[in-house]
């Protein structure tokens, strides 16, 4: 008989046993436990049908309809579970830890698997995820204006043995009007939070974890309240890179995109940049003068970043000035400075 586990017990077993999420494909796509496998009891349409019958006719007619729908597919459910790499034990959950997970766990155990279900279902997992962002984390922030190469520096920090979480990589967005260029489609806000919480569980809380200084929104993904507050109160290592070096980096980084893509991105900040500046920037792009287009755009981005920096406790800002974007040199300096905290 399947044994229901609390969320911490359930997740502690997930390193050695697969998680089977039996919710619909749409529910799974909206958000799921990282690494979980979706073997849906109902299709999206099935769930609508059964839900309507439940509301209109009651529980028993809905169950009968559900059995009618899933009966022919029971062998598919077991075959899908058997195809997973596992040691004969499955961790099964649905939304609230109710009939869907208990029914599928019964079926899997009938076949020969040992199963555990999740008390409170995926809902309990989500509650834990959101609560986790209020727990103190050992965060240090890598700051710097647009074009400072923060992502490159962050990756070098990882290579040098530091703990990092790349928020922009997780969000599939670079955080500006140009941020979607070259990126995959962004994940849902719910899944962004799930993946972010999972990454924090992989870090050593006794060691510093570097995060890039971001706006509250990265594309349409939003940093959770608790984490955002901690980032705003954390120590900031502000890489003050000289303007010429930033422009060279940006021209190289974005020069691979088409004039149409770059102009479209400029138009996204038209209201904040001003009509005259937008016109000049787009004309520069059309003429192939990306350096001028960068200079115009950076007037807005630098002003915006300076304002955000001014809202922090100035005692928490450590300025590290560099003339050139020498990633290895900058990284070593940051590590040395951080070691003194």
Cα–Cα distance, 233 to 311 (Å, whole number): 10
Name the burial class of residue 108, with classes exposed (0-12), middle (13-18) and buried (19+) by CB atoms within 10 angstroms of its CB: buried
For 3-130, which CATH class?
A: alpha beta
- What is the percentage of the chain residues whose pLDDT exceeds 70? 100
pLDDT of residue 176: 83
Beta strand pairing status for 235-241 and 317-322? parallel
pLDDT single digits (tens) 223-262: 999 999 999 999 999 999 999 999 999 999 999 999 999 9
pLDDT reading at 341 higher than 90 = no
| 94 carries an active-site annotation | yes
Domain spans, the chain: 3-130, 136-339
pLDDT of residue 272: 83
Of the listed 94, 115, 209, 294, which one is catalytic? 94
| DSSP single-letter state for residue 314 | G
pLDDT of residue 271: 84
pLDDT reading at 86 higher than 80 = no
pLDDT of residue 321: 97
Q: Is 172 helix (H, G, I), strand (E, B) or coil?
A: coil
Per-residue 3-state assignment (H helix, E strand, C coil) for 77-142:
HHHHHHCCCCCCEEEEECCCCCHHHHHHHHHHHHHCCEEEEECCHHHHHHHHHHHHCCCCCCEEEE
CATH architecture of 136-339: 3-Layer(aba) Sandwich (3.40)
For the ranges 21-30, 173-182, 309-318, which has the lowest average pLDDT?
173-182
pLDDT reading at 340 higher than 80 = yes
């Amino acid at each position: 008989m399947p044994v229901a586990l609390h969320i911490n017990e359930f997740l502690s077993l997930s390193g050695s046993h697969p998680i089977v999420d039996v919710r619909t494909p749409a529910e799974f796509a909206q958000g799921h436990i990282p690494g979980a496998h979706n073997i849906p009891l109902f299709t999206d349409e099935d769930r609508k049908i059964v839900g309507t019958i439940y509301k209109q006719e009651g529980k028993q007619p809905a169950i009968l309809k559900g059995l009618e729908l899933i009966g022919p597919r029971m062998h598919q459910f077991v075959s899908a579970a058997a195809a997973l790499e596992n040691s004969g034990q499955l961790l099964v959950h649905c939304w609230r830890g109710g009939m869907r997970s208990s029914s599928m766990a019964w079926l899997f155990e009938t076949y020969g698997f040992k199963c555990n279900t999740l008390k409170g279902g995926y809902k309990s997992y989500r509650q834990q995820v959101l609560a986790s962002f209020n727990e103190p984390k050992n965060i240090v922030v890598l700051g710097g204006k647009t074009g400072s190469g923060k992502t490159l520096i962050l990756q070098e920090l990882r290579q040098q043995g530091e703990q990092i979480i790349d928020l922009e990589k997780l969000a599939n967005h670079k955080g500006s009007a140009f941020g979607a260029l070259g990126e995959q489609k962004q994940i849902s806000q719910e899944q962004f939070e799930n993946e972010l919480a999972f990454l924090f569980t992989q870090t050593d809380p006794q060691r510093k974890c570097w995060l890039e200084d971001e706006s509250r929104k990265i594309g349409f993904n939003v940093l959770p309240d608790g984490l955002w507050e901690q980032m705003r109160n954390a120590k900031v290592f502000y890489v003050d890179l000289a303007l010429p070096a930033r422009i060279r980096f940006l021209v190289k980084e974005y020069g691979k995109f088409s004039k149409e893509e770059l102009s479209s991105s400029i138009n996204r900040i038209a209201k904040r940049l001003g009509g005259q500046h937008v016109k000049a920037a787009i004309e520069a792009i059309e003429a192939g003068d990306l350096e001028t287009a960068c200079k115009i755009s950076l007037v807005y981005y630098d002003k915006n970043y300076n304002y955000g920096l001014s809202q922090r406790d100035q005692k928490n800002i450590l300025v590290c000035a560099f003339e050139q974007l020498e990633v290895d040199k900058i990284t070593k300096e940051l590590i040395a400075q951080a070691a003194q905290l």
